[in-house]
Every structure is written in structure tokens, then in C-alpha cells.
Amino acid sequence: MAQWQELLRLNLVQGWLSELYERKFPRHIRHCLCVCIEELDWDSAAVDEKKASVCFCTLIFYLDKQWNQSVQLSYILPGPDFQGMRDYLLKNFKDVPLNLAVILSECLREEKRILNSASKTQGGDGPTVDQKWRELDNGVNDLKRQTLEVKKEMKSLENLYENHDYILKTWKSEVEKCIGLAQSQAAVKEECLKQANFISQTKQVVLQQIVKILKQAEQIVAALTDVELPEWKRRQQMACIGGPVDTCLDHLQMRFTAVAEVLIQVRQQLQKLHDQNKKYNCNDAYSLHQETEKSALSLLTKLLSSALVVERQPVMTNLPQRPLILKTGVRFTAAVRFLANLPEFKCLLKVKPVFDKDVEETTTENGFRHFDFNRDNSKVLDVEPPGGGLVAEFTHMSVKEKKARTKGSCQSRLGVTEELHIIKFVTVFQHAGLSCHIEASSLPMVIISSTNQIPSAWASVMWCNILSSSEPKDLSLFVDPPPLTWQQLSQVLSWQFLSVGKRELDENQLSMLRDKLMDEPDGLIHWSKFSKNECAWIWINGILDLIKRHLVDLWQNGYIMGFVSRKSTRSLLQEKPTGTFLLRFSESNKDGAITFSWVEHTNGETHVHSVEPYTKTELTVLSLPDIIYLYSLKSEENMTRNPLLYLYPDIHRDAAFGRYCSIPEKEAPKNMNGYVRRNHTCSADPTPPSPPPQETHMDTYMDTDPDTSMQDQVIQDLFYDLLSLPSSPALLMSRQDTTTHFN
């Protein structure tokens, strides 16, 4: 896992390594199984069939275990598709585990080469992630060891005080009983003075040890609160918009808990010193003692003030893959965790969510809408299994608009899906003389009133989280939204396809999108180009929905080229044999559609043709593999033929789509009643596809019957978690006499 995490941290997974996994092995499986994969010896397995079988069985066992755990935990947010990964491995490597070993051995070696190359480029001076974590853990363990030593010293000091006090109180009475002892009075006084000096020196040593502990703790607290925690929050931002990053809090919680325990024990020892001084009337080292107490209190306050985090960002249960979008009146969930997980803190903290707390935008000329919760959602932090963290789950939250805008009121300069809001989770910590107010803020959210606004809202969420990496957050970001570089946007767009279709965009696909989105001459992508005036995002979102509903398997296996221009299509196909075809997305259908283009060579001339794109409605009736098998053209002699023979570059149609086809093979060539009939008309020159249409903002999209559609949507949203409604039956339709277009 260390190797893969280092690649992610250094942003080295793109480029050549991405291409390597595109050809060799699914990258999402490498990511999800990074722990198990890196623990196995694939180099040895690559040359030994038995070892390869053992490694393969280990992966399958690990996937089964992860699948069972995910089912038992029943997470609200969907986890990795462990069952799908298992099926992929069994289908492709069950009979040839040696092939898997060879592939992973090569991939792991290439990863090491890329890491070494990056290390040389950067001079090799910076510590790796593993080294940083190891140093931090070593520092925490050293703190715990030193604290135990101080406790031992305090026990010895207590014994010295008791012995000294006993001698002081008893030696005079002993002298009166025995005149012989009176001659030793001076010697007794001298011994008591020596013991008092030794006690004073021991106390100074203890205080110096505590000062040393606090100085070391100060560095660790700074590392946790100023480095580790912000890095985790940034990773969580990336995870919210589809990034394949690790957001586990276990290690961070362990460190927060250990340091909090050390600081609490230090304060306890300082309190014991204070009690001893009071009991035995000693005032030596008073100023050092007071300063040390202040330092310990300040460090503990800083640590605990940062210990409350939003572990799960607000998300609607019926929209799990797109968090931070909330619809008024619809239930959503969130969870907070207190990282200092000490037994004495159990049920100590009561957390209350507050909507738009201290948000200036709601009171300024921007005229943001005002929202509040439908009910009191306060929760007490309690220990939750299986991790045993101090967690509060907010499972039935919903918001309502306080008051609709009236005529003459301040109008917002932003659209509904450009307004950003936050939820702050607040609590008061009171323990052992320490009292402080603690807050944790959600990431900026978008509040919608119609499900039609979801695509535009998600564009805002993505844009905001790409730009915003620190607090406080600019909720007026879209008043004057900064542009993005292509590197920033392309990675997030690629993640969208990974989360929906289990496969990222390759370099060629990203290149085509870059040409469509990149603004000239500044080389930046502007908000208006992406989501407002030209609605490029709406077109991309329609394709994502198309993949999610109908094309996941084909996209995951790399059979859909997808984003390829007409010029590139012609260039790719013209040198290929007749019947070679490729699958690409329509550039003119904003709701998402797919077409295929194929090449024919006749009489020394090359023609590249494209069929009219297939929409979601048609793919609901007939799958794309079935369409490919049933597609036919009718010649002038009234003969029919299927022009689609080889998927680009040279994969036979049966090898690519045979397993997905639901129509019996014997019926495919001759059963005319099952064909999607299309008339073939010739054209000498390919007709270029239209560019993506210019659409207005998504807030303006309305159903034909607004009252009926809104009523249906409200019922669906309100009772989503209570009702398990069957999917509506597919529309029965046929596409006949549709003209084939040339591209």
C-alpha cells in the first residue's frame, strides 16, 4: 500500500503508468487491493505456477472478506464493487493465474521505476509518506515512554516527601524520650536539610522532564493539526468528487488519542506537584511550575479544538455518489468523529449542527437564501462499533428555506446552484478544569429545490472542491469564479468516469475533451465555458448517466473509445479493413447518446459511415451489443448484411460483444423481424457532427407538466427510504426506417 499511496501523493498515476494499467490490468482493482497486492511476492509467482495459484487464491479470499465486511457494515455511501472485481479476476485469470502474476510483477516493477525516477528528479531529499508517518509514530511512542518515567519519578517524590515529613514530626518527641539523642539533634537537622535539598532537586528534574515532554508534544501537535489533519481534509475533498484516495481516520485518531492522553497525564502530574507544594508548604520552582501548566493547557486546548471532524459529509441517501448536494425537505445524513478517543470522553460531548453559522454571505448584498433544519438534530458522541471511535451519526436531517424572497428584497447575484452553504457542528468541551468551544465545518454544499438542478449543482461542487483547499471557505466563490488549469479539471473529470464506469479516461480521450473545453489564448478553462453558457458539463454528465445505466461493462473493458472527433475517427479507420468500427459518444445530444462508425473500401474509395446515435430510451429496449449484432443494411438487390465486423483496432465482434449479447447467435443473421431496420443512403463526403448545443442554465429546465412532475418527485424523495418501488417497465418501441448518417 505504501508504494501505491506514494504514487497517488506525488500524482504519478497519470501518464505512462495510467497507460500501462489501461493495457494490462484494471487500475481501480490495483487501487482497492493495494494492501493485499503489495504484500505478495509476484516476482516469484511470475515464474512458478504453484506460487501464482496461491497468490491468486489469496486475492480472491481477500475480496470475499472485504465483501462480507461491507455487507455487514451496510455503509450508506457505496463502497468498492468487491463482487465485480472478484468476477473479473475469476473470469480472466482463474485458469491462468500465471498470467496475472506476470502482469502484476511487471506493473509493480514499473511503479518502482517511476518512483525512483521521481525521487532523483526531486533530489531525493524529501521524506516519503511512510517515513513521515514512522517518524510521527516514533515521536508519539517516545512521548508515552517519557510520561511513564515522569509518573515513576512522581511516585518516588511522593515517598521522599512522606519520609521527610515523618522525620520532621517525630524526631523532637524521640529526643525528649531519650536524652542520648539530644546530642544528635544537630546531626538530625543536617540530615533533614539534605533530604529537603534532594527533594527540591528531584522536583526540578521532574519539571524539566515535563518541559521536555511538552516541547516535543508541541512539535507533534503542530504536525497533527497543521499538516496531517489538513492533508486528510484535502483527501476527503478529493474523495467527495470521485478521487480514489484513502480517507481512513484510524491512524490519525490513534495519534490524536495518544497525544491527548499524554497531555492529560502531564496535567495530572503537574496537579500532583501543586498538591504536594500545598500540603508540605513548599514554594520552590513556583514560576516554572505555573508556566509549565499554562503550556500543557494551551497544547491540550489546541489539540482538542481540532479533534472534531466531519467524517462523512452531508449526502442524500438517494444520491450517494454525489455528496454535498441537498434538496429542501429531503432526508440526508452526516457523521462527525472526535479523534481524541479516550474512555473519559464517552458521552461527554453533545454536538449540535447549525446551518450557515457565522456566514457573512447570508447578510450581505449577495442575498443568499436562508435555510434552517426541520428539527433539532443534536447528538451525543458515543463509541460506535466496529472501529470504536467517538462518533455521532446524523441520519434524519433535512432543511427548509426560512423565508421566500419578497419583491424589493435583495436579489442574489448567483444562480441557485451557485450558492454555497455550510453546516457547522458545534460542541462545548469541559473536562478536568478545561473548557473550550469546538466547531467542525462541512465542505461547501449546494441546496437545490428540484432534481433537474442536480447536474449543475454537481458542477459547482466539483469546481469549488478543486479550488478550495483550506479554511475559511469562500462561499461567494461563484460571484467571480477563478478559472482552472486543464491539469486540475482533467483529473476530476477522469474520476467521474472511474466512479460511474470503473474506468478512467485515457490520454486520447482527455485530449479530445481538452480541445472542446480549453479557452484560448490563456490556456485555462473558465466557469462560463464549462457549466453556464455552453453547457459542456451537461453534455459530459449525460454521457456519464448513459454509461451508468447501459454501458458499464463495455466502458470498463475498454471497448468504447467514446471521446473521439470525426477527424480522428476517419484517420483511425481509413487504413483499417472493411468492417472495422469504433464506438463513440454523440457530440450533439446533451442527454447522452452513442453511435458507431465503420469503414468500407469500394472501388478503390474509402468511406467512413456513422449511424444515428442511440439514446437511453432506445438502449432501455435493446442493449448496445444486441444492436451491434442485429444491425443490417439493405442493398439494391434486397440483400441484407451486417457491416460491423471488427472492433477497432482488430478485435472480432464476437470476441468483444458475444458474451454480452442476449439474442441467440443463430437468429442474429437471418431473423429479419428482430432487426433494427435502417435504410442505407450513400454520400460521397462524410457529414460532420454538430458541436454540443448551447443550453441555458439547468435551473430553467422544466417538465411538460410542472405540477404533476413536482408532486411525483416530492413523493419519491420523501419516501425513498421507506418504499422499494420497482423500476418502471421499459417502453416497447422499435426504430424503423431511420436514415443512416455519414461521419
Question: Of 49-63, 262-276, 453-467, 725-739, which range is least confident?
Answer: 725-739
User: What distance in Å separates the CA atoms of residue 455 and residue 463, rounded to the nearest whole number?
Assistant: 12
The reply to whether omega before 649 is within 30° of 0 (cis) is yes
The answer to whether residues 582 and 590 touch, using CB atoms and an 8 Å cutoff, is no
- Work out the burial of residue 347: count CB atoms within 10 Å of its CB; fewer than 13 is exposed, 13-18 middle, 19 or more buried: exposed
pLDDT band for 387, please (50, 70, 90 cuts).
Answer: low
Residue written as grid cell 465486511: 69
**Number of C-beta neighbours around residue 470 at 10 A:** 8
Domains, in order of start, for the chain: 2-121 (1.10.532.10), 139-305 (1.20.1050.20), 308-482 (2.60.40.630), 514-742 (3.30.505.10)
Q: Rounded mean pLDDT of the chain?
A: 78
Q: Which residue has the cell 506493473?
A: 107
Interatomic CA distance for residues 284 and 298, integer angstroms: 23
| The predicted structure's pLDDT at residue 407 | 47
Pairing mode, strands 484-485 and 524-525: antiparallel
Over residues 639-683, the pLDDT tens digits come to 778 899 999 888 998 888 988 888 654 444 443 443 334 443 333
d(CA 84, CA 553): 10
Cβ–Cβ < 8 Å for 488, 466? yes
pLDDT score at 673: 41
Average pLDDT over residues 27-39: 84
What Rg, from alpha-carbon coordinates, does the chain have? 34
β-partners of residue 315 are 333
Q: Which residues fall within 8 angstroms of residue 624, CB to CB, at 6 or more apart?
A: 550, 551, 554, 583, 594, 614
pLDDT at position 364, please? 55
Q: Give pLDDT, residue 471.
A: 63
Q: Which residues in 564-573 are b (16+ Cβ under 10 Å) and which e?
A: bbbebbbebb
Name the percent of the chain lying above pLDDT 90.
24
Residue 737 has pLDDT above 50, yes or no: no
Within 178-249, where are the H helices? 179-182, 185-223, 229-240
- CA 419, CA 397: separation in Å to the nearest integer? 20
Structure-model confidence comparison of residues 130 and 331, the more confident one: 331
Per-residue confidence band for 729, with pLDDT thresholds at 50, 70 and 90: very low
Whether 230 has a pLDDT exceeding 70, the answer reads yes
Contact 608, 742 (CB under 8 A): yes
- 256 Cα distance to chain centroid: 22
DSSP annotation of 696 reads: -
Residue-wise pLDDT tens digits, 390-422: 899 999 899 998 865 544 444 556 888 999 999
Q: Print the SS3 string covering 152-191.
A: HHHHHHHHHHHHHHHHHHHHHHHHHHCHHHHCCHHHHHHH
CA–centroid distance for 673 within its chain: 48
* Least confident stretch, 6-15, 347-356, 502-511, 582-591: 6-15
Average pLDDT over residues 709-734: 41
What would the pLDDT profile of 185-217 be if each residue is shown by its tens digit? Answer: 666 666 666 666 666 767 777 888 888 888 888
CA separation for the pair 106, 504 (Å, rounded)? 21
Q: For 605-641, how does the pLDDT look when each residue is reduced to its tens digit (9 = 90+)? A: 888 988 999 999 999 999 999 999 888 887 666 677 8
326 within 8 A of 459, measured Cβ to Cβ: no
Out of 281-285, 342-346, 599-603, pick the least confident. 281-285
Which residues have CB under 8 Å from 37's CB, separation 6+? 30, 59, 104, 108
Q: How far apart are CA 295 and CA 297, in angstroms?
A: 5
Whether residue 144 contacts residue 262, with contact meaning beta carbons closer than 8 Å, is answered with yes
- Dihedral sign computed on CA atoms, order 219, 221, 226, 230: positive
Q: Flag whether pLDDT at 719 surpasses 70.
A: no
Q: Which of 339-348, 528-537, 656-665 has the highest mean pLDDT?
A: 339-348
Helices and strands counted in the chain (H then E) = 25, 25
What separation in angstroms does the CA of 6 have from each of 11, 124, 281, 651? Answer: 8, 14, 57, 36
Distance CA 696, CA 531 (A): 9
Tell me whether residue 663 is exposed, middle or buried, using C-beta atoms within 10 angstroms of its C-beta: 0 to 12, 13 to 18, 19 or more. middle
**pLDDT value at 5 more than 60:** yes
Examine the pLDDT at 93 and tell me if it is beyond 60: yes
User: CA 18 to CA 291: how far, in whole Å?
Assistant: 55
Residue 316: predicted pLDDT:
93
Contacts of 493 (CB under 8 A, 6+ apart): 505, 510, 513, 540
- In the structure grid, which three cell numbers stand for residue 171, read together? 524526631
Of 19-33, 469-483, 591-605, 715-729, highest mean pLDDT: 591-605
Of 241, 128, 118, 228, residue with least CA distance to 488: 241
> How is residue 740 written as a grid cell?
443512416
- Read off φ and ψ for residue 639, nearest 5 degrees: -100, 145
Predicted pLDDT at 515:
84
pLDDT, greater one: 384 or 210: 210
- What sign has the CA pseudo-torsion 282, 286, 290, 293? negative
Mean pLDDT of 519-529: 77
Task: State the pLDDT confidence band at 167, using cuts at 50, 70 and 90.
Answer: low
- Least confidently predicted of 218-227, 274-283, 425-434, 683-692: 683-692
Query: What is the DSSP-derived secondary structure letter of residue 475?
Result: T
Q: 258 CB contacts (<8 Å, ≥6 apart)?
A: 140, 143, 144
* pLDDT of 308: 95
- For the segment 541-574, what is each residue's pLDDT rounded down to a tens digit? 999 999 999 999 899 888 999 898 888 889 899 8
Task: Name the least confident of 85-94, 274-283, 612-621.
Answer: 274-283
Which H or E element spans position 354?
Answer: strand 350-355
In contact, 7 and 115? CB cutoff 8 Å: yes
- How far is Cα 276 from Cα 449, in angstroms, rounded to an integer? 64
Higher pLDDT, residue 512 or 699: 512
Under a CB-based contact definition with an 8 Å cutoff, are residues 220 and 142 in contact? no
